[in-house]
Amino acid sequence: MTSDALPRTRLYVDAPLAEGQAAALSEAQAHHLRGVLRLTPGVGLRLFNPRDGEWLARLDVLSKAGGSALAERQLRPPEPVSDLWLCFAPVKKDAVDTVVEKGTELGAAVLQPVFTRFTDVQRVNLDRLRAHAVAAAEQCERLDVPDLRDPVGLDALLAAWPAGRTLLVCAEAGAARPIAEAAAEVSGPTALLVGPEGGFAAAELDTLLCHEFVRPVGLGPRILRADTAAIAALAVWQMLAGDGRGRPPHRV
Ligand code: SAH
C-alpha cells in the first residue's frame, strides 16, 4: 500500500494498539463514523495513541452504542512528545475553544486553565474543551492529546510549580524582554502564561516576578487579544526554541 492510500479518518483511542487486537470505539466516535462520515464495517481507519503510535486498522463493529476496529499494522512508532506547557486565563467560549484547538496544533503538552483576578469567565467546560483537543490532535497528526488540566487559581499554580520549569509570563506591561530573546537563552522545560482580556493585575505581576522561575516576555508593540497572544507565543516559542526546529511535518 502506498502512503497515498492510507485512510483519512484518524481517531485517538485509549485502548492498546497491537496487531490483530480489537480497539474499542466510544459512542461519540461511533456516532461520528456512522452519522457524519457514513462509514461501514470493513473500511480502513488510522488509530493512534502516544503509547503505541499510529496503526492502520479496519472497522469491525459499528452500532449506536459504540464499535471496534481491528489493528492491522503499525504506521508510526511512538515518538517523544513536545514538553511545552500553556497556562492561560479562561476567556469566553469561542476564544477558549480557539486556544485549545490552536494550542493542540502548536504542540502544547499541557493546557492549564488559570483563574486570575480579572478573569471574567467563572466556569470552564472541560468536556467540551477535551473534545476540541482530541479533534485537533486527530487533524494535525499528533500522536498524543494535550493534558487538559483542572483549572487552578494563580496562587495555587505558583505554589505547586514544578522545580526546573521556566515560566514565561506574557506581560503586556512592565519590563518584559522580547520573547525571541528569551527563546535564545532559556533552555529546558518551559511553560507560557497568558492573562485574561482584562490583563494581569499589577499585584499579580509583582507576585509573579518574585519567583525565580518566572521570566516576563513581550509579544511586540501591540496589545493582542488573549487568544491571539497564546497562539503567537506558542508559535514563536516552538519555532525558535521548541519542536519547530526539528523534523518537518509528518505527512501521510
Ligand atoms: N486589558 C489589557 C490587555 C490584556 S491582553 C490591556 O488593555 O492592557 C490579554 C493577555 O494577552 C495579556 O494578559 C498578556 O498575557 C497577553 N498579551 C497581549 N498582548 C501582549 C504583548 N504585546 N506582549 C505580551 N503579552 C501580551
Looking at residue 252, its pLDDT comes to: 59
- The yes or no reply on domain 84-240 and CATH 3.40.1280.10 is yes
Closest residue (by CA) to atom 9 of ligand 1?
A: 226
pLDDT tens, position by position, 128-180: 999 999 999 999 999 999 999 999 999 999 999 999 999 999 998 888 999 99
CB 17 within 8 A of CB 53: yes
DSSP code of residue 220: -
What is the CB < 6 Å shell around ligand 1?
Answer: 170-172, 194-195, 197-200, 218-220, 222-224, 226, 229
For the CA of 221, the closest atom of ligand 1 is 22
Atom 18 of ligand 1, residue of closest alpha carbon: 224
Number of H helices, E strands in the chain: 7, 13
For β-strands 108-115 and 147-148, DSSP reports them as: parallel
Fold of 3-76: Ribosomal Protein L25; Chain P (2.40.240)
Domain map (residue ranges) of the chain: 3-76, 84-240
Ligand 1 geometric centre to CA of 171 (Å): 6
pLDDT band at 2 (very low <50, low <70, confident <90, very high): very low
pLDDT the model gives residue 1 = 45
Q: What's the pTM?
A: 0.94
pLDDT digits (tens, 9 = 90+) for 193-209: 999 999 999 999 999 99
- Each residue of 70-124: pLDDT tens digit? 999 999 999 988 999 999 999 999 999 999 999 999 999 999 999 999 999 989 9
Query: Do the beta carbons of residue 84 and residue 109 sit within 8 Å?
Result: yes
Cα 98 vs. chain centroid, distance in angstroms? Answer: 11
Question: Which of 167, 170, 217 best tests ligand 1's pocket when mutated (most atoms within 8 Å of CB)?
Answer: 170
